[in-house]
């Protein structure tokens, strides 16, 4: 392990000016004996600093290719008192032709730490700001922050996120490290210090969003700068849609979008599933095979974003009493679920940029719902889609496209925390109140759709917390652990304890099987009981966890299935839209649902799930969500599946659909979603990704939709012929 102290060097002439509010604690170019600088598996190889192409002078630090090379700064004596400081500042530059990841750890004398990761892009030097209290884009109301660096007073400034909490009155060190560099990486650094005001933090988020809801810090072909542009774009699109719809009318499709060229099935008047020669199919009410190409959230309310308390983020919010003021509203999405934890600006006044833009684009400030519905249906059909996915506007159900519906089951039943609870804790299916809530939800959902042949089926809730992401036992069996931590007021815990008592009879039998000393059965009834981890020497632990989770999942899906068979016997139960799942939950879904559905954020379906295991269940599979996004079209986040550029989204879509067609169990894929999320964060959870087929201005991403249309028509062409199994 290499350790060395920084020697004195000759002062050099060129350096960047300090920004307002900054105080330098140490200058690497003109060092003074007030700070100790110690390296571990890193080095300062030159006595002289270096002048960059931009004329700045910085000092090179080399981080060696080991586990975590580091450079530590500490006071020569005592501690630093940063009580009044708001941020740590570093003037630095990547000395490589690529971006570098640098971790920052601020340590106080009580052992507490504040940490941050700097994603330092290639290019000129910049001032990096690390907030000294936990801070992230989420505290500003959005999941992903604006592009960094930004320019302030002529300098490039990069604001990072930070986590944890250090005692700022007693700071003992600041460490810069790199996580596992594969080769030696060089960093150029001039100085480090602190900021004593929050001017730069505010500047990072000021004026981010223009009057159309678009990012002000980027340019792209579809970006709108005037109402006239919006109107012209809408007129151009109409001609294109007319031609594409004319082409669609020539395809060999039945009324519901079924494939007339393929072998027919028995017509039974409603959508159903059938397996033929090793491949699963959805079948239309008229008896023709149907591959569901859907879009989620085709709705006009997706452009709403909270503005109250962060008005400085927006450059042109409408004044009261003006025509566009009709698009303000009030909301509260701070519901206590995992999706709202740590979020700022999650309630109050919002503005709907998308609806406002719809009005602007048609020579009237008033949003015309009927016109939007007709336009959206034209687009979906012209682009080769044949299904309205989950959460779509009910007004689109107009005998033009088959549709799906969600079953959102809410009530006063008990619930179980598995640890993440993103959309809420798991419903307790052993609670009689859950069955009552299910009955009520299904009855309401089926009331107006019971005899509608255009309805494919219902989804059983969405992305429930069946487990915690990861492979550790407490993640895999989070449902079992969470249940045993409860009191016996929980029906699920009583069911679990009954299972164990029926099997082991008493605490002695359980103690032997689990390798623990349980002196009294009643100890398991206490809240907070912590069962042992699965152990190869005690295989019954894992077996008991698996059995409970299987019975739990079967009880859940059977309750919904029974209710749907009573209230809507003609429609399919499309599964639980799994994001995180367990084998027990998937098997139970396959047992009681007509289709198993997964939200797959991966390059292909096969990258997301093991289809050998799924095929063993012998059930049709629907990909109920997939997506690809980039960072070059306005919203700051690319979504879960990032591609480098907008031009890469189309090929990624085509590759996913092609891979899906190779799986004989997959009966459709649904894109998430119709509309880009607001760059400043959607109401629900602050998510602000580039998911859309259209932008916040309702202008389609032309290159992408052309590629999507080509892929969708390719599906029709491939499947609209006598059955030939595609090669796997």
| Residue 523 lies inside a defined structural domain of this protein | yes
- Do 49 and 186 lie in one domain? The reply is yes
| Cis peptide leading into residue 213 (ω within 30°) | no
Q: Any bridge partners for residue 195, and if so which?
A: 22, 87
Same domain assignment for residues 221 and 94:
no
Q: Are residues 163 and 237 in the same domain?
A: no
- CA separation, residue 69 to residues 66, 164, 176 (Å): 6, 22, 9
Residues 6+ apart with CB under 8 A from 335: 424
Question: Do 180 and 329 share a structural domain?
Answer: no
Q: What is the pLDDT of residue 11?
A: 36
Residue 349 tokens, joined: 């006044």
Residues 190 and 315 in one domain: no
- pLDDT, one tens digit per residue, over 112-168 is 999 999 999 999 999 999 999 999 999 999 999 999 999 998 889 999 999 999 999
Assess if residue 343 is contained within a domain. yes
Same domain assignment for residues 116 and 177: yes
From CA 348, how far away is CA 329, in angstroms rounded? 8
Residue 202 token pair: 């505010």
pLDDT in tens, 202-245: 999 999 999 999 999 999 999 999 999 999 999 999 999 999 99
Q: Residues 233, 338: one domain?
A: yes
In a domain, 525, yes or no: yes
Alpha-carbon distances of 148 from 121, 515, 694, rounded to whole Å? 9, 53, 25
- Name the domain boundary from 545, 564, 586: 545
E-state strands within 54-99: 57-63, 70-75, 87-94
174 and 70 part of one domain: yes
Is 4 within a domain? Answer: no
Domain at 27, CATH number:
2.60.120.430
Treating both helix axes as pointing N-terminal to C-terminal, what angle do 353-360 and 227-248 enclose, rounded to 10 degrees?
Answer: 90
- Inter-residue contact 503 to 458 (CB < 8 Å): no
Same domain, 169 and 124: yes
Do the Cβ atoms of 551 and 582 come closer than 8 Å?
Answer: no
554 Cβ neighbours under 8 A, 6+ residues apart:
588, 591, 592
What is the spatial distance between Cα 451 and Cα 328, in angstroms, rounded to a whole number? 38
Give the span between the Cα atoms of 717 and 109, in whole angstroms. 68
Instruction: List the one residue out of 255, 317, 315, 263 whose CA is nearest residue 286.
Output: 255
Regions of the chain with pLDDT less than 70: 1-15, 47, 363, 723-728
Mean residue pLDDT of the chain comes to 93
Total domains in the chain come to 3
Together in a domain, 215 and 170: no
pLDDT one-digit tens code per residue, 667-715: 999 999 999 999 999 999 999 999 999 999 999 999 999 999 999 999 9
Do residues 308 and 166 both lie within one domain? no
Q: Say whether both 214 and 128 belong to one domain.
A: no
**Is residue 67 one of the residues assigned to a domain?**
yes
Decide if 671 is inside a domain: no
Q: Domain boundary residue among 311, 344, 366? A: 366
Phi, psi torsion values for 653, nearest 5 degrees? -60, -45
Tell whether 69 is covered by a domain. Answer: yes
* Domain range enclosing 502: 485-545
- Residue where a domain terminates, one of 521, 545, 569: 545
Structural domain contains residue 499: yes
Cβ pair 64, 177 in contact under 8 A: no
Predicted pLDDT at 15? 60
**328-332 and 292-295: which strand pairing?**
unpaired
């Amino acid at each position: 392990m290499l350790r060395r102290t920084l020697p004195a060097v000759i002062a050099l002439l060129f350096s960047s000016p300090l920004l307002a509010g900054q105080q330098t604690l140490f200058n690497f170019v003109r060092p003074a004996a007030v700070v100790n600088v110690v390296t571990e598996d890193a080095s300062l190889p030159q006595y002289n600093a270096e002048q960059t192409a931009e004329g700045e002078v910085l000092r090179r630090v080399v981080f060696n290719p080991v586990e975590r090379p580091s450079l530590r700064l500490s006071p020569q004596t005592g501690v630093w008192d940063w009580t009044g400081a708001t941020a740590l500042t570093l003037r630095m530059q990547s000395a490589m032709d690529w971006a570098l990841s640098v971790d920052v750890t601020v340590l106080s004398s009580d052992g507490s730490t504040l940490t941050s990761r700097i994603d330092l892009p290639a290019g000129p030097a910049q001032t990096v700001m690390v907030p000294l209290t936990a801070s992230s884009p989420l505290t500003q109301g959005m999941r992903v922050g604006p592009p960094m660096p930004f320019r302030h007073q002529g300098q490039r400034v990069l604001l990072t996120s930070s986590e944890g909490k250090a005692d700022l009155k007693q700071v003992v060190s600041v460490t810069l490290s790199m996580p596992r560099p594969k080769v030696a990486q060089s960093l150029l650094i001039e100085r480090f210090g602190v900021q004593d005001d929050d001017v730069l933090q505010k500047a990072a988020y000021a004026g981010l969003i223009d009057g159309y809801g678009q990012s002000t810090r980027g340019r792209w072909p579809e970006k709108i700068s005037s109402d006239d542009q919006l109107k012209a774009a809408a007129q151009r699109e109409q001609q294109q849609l007319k031609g594409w719809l004319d082409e669609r009318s020539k395809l060999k499709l039945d009324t519901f979008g079924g494939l007339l060229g393929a072998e027919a099935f028995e017509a039974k008047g409603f959508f159903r599933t059938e397996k033929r020669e090793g491949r699963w199919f959805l079948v239309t009410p008229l008896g023709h095979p149907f591959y569901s190409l859907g879009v989620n959230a085709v709705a006009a309310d997706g452009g709403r974003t909270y503005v109250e308390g962060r008005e400085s983020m927006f450059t042109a919010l409408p004044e009261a009493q003006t025509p566009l003021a009709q698009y303000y509203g009030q909301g509260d999405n701070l519901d206590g679920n995992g999706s709202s934890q740590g979020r700022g600006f999650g309630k109050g006044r919002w503005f709907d940029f998308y609806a406002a833009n719809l009005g602007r684009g048609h020579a009237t400030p008033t949003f015309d719902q009927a016109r939007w519905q007709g336009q959206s249906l034209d687009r979906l059909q012209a682009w080769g889609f044949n299904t309205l996915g989950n959460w779509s506007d009910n007004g689109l159900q107009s005998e033009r496209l088959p549709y799906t519906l969600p079953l959102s089951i809410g009530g006063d039943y008990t619930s179980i925390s598995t640890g993440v609870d993103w959309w809420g804790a798991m419903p307790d299916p052993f609670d009689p109140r859950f069955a009552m809530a299910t009955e009520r939800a299904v009855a309401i959902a089926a009331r107006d759709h019971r005899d509608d042949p255009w309805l494919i089926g219902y989804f059983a809730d969405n992305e429930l917390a069946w487990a915690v992401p990861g492979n550790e036992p407490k993640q895999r069996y989070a449902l079992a652990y969470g249940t045993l931590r409860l009191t016996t007021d929980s029906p699920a815990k009583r069911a679990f304890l009954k299972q164990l008592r029926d099997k082991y009879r008493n605490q002695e039998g359980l103690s032997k099987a689990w390798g623990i000393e349980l002196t009294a059965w009643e100890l398991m009834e206490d809240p907070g009981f912590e069962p042992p981890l699965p152990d190869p020497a005690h295989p019954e632990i894992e077996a008991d966890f698996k059995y409970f989770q299987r019975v739990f999942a079967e009880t859940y899906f059977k309750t919904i299935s029974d209710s749907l068979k009573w209230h809507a016997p003609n429609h399919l139960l499309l599964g639980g839209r799994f994001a995180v799942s367990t084998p027990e939950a998937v098997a139970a879904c396959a047992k009681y649902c007509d289709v198993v559905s997964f939200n797959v954020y991966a390059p292909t379906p096969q990258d997301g799930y093991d289809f050998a295991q799924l095929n063993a269940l012998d059930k049709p599979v629907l990909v109920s969500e997939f997506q690809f996004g980039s960072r070059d079209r306005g919203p700051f986040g690319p979504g879960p599946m990032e591609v480098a550029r907008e031009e890469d989204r189309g090929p990624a879509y085509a590759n996913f659909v092609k891979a899906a067609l190779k799986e004989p169990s997959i009966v459709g894929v649904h894109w998430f979603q119709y509309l880009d999320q607001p760059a400043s964060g959607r109401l629900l959870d602050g998510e602000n990704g580039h998911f859309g087929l259209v932008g916040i201005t309702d202008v389609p991403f032309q290159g992408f939709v052309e590629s999507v249309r080509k892929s969708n028509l390719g599906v029709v062409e491939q499947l609209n012929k006598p059955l030939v199994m595609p090669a796997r």
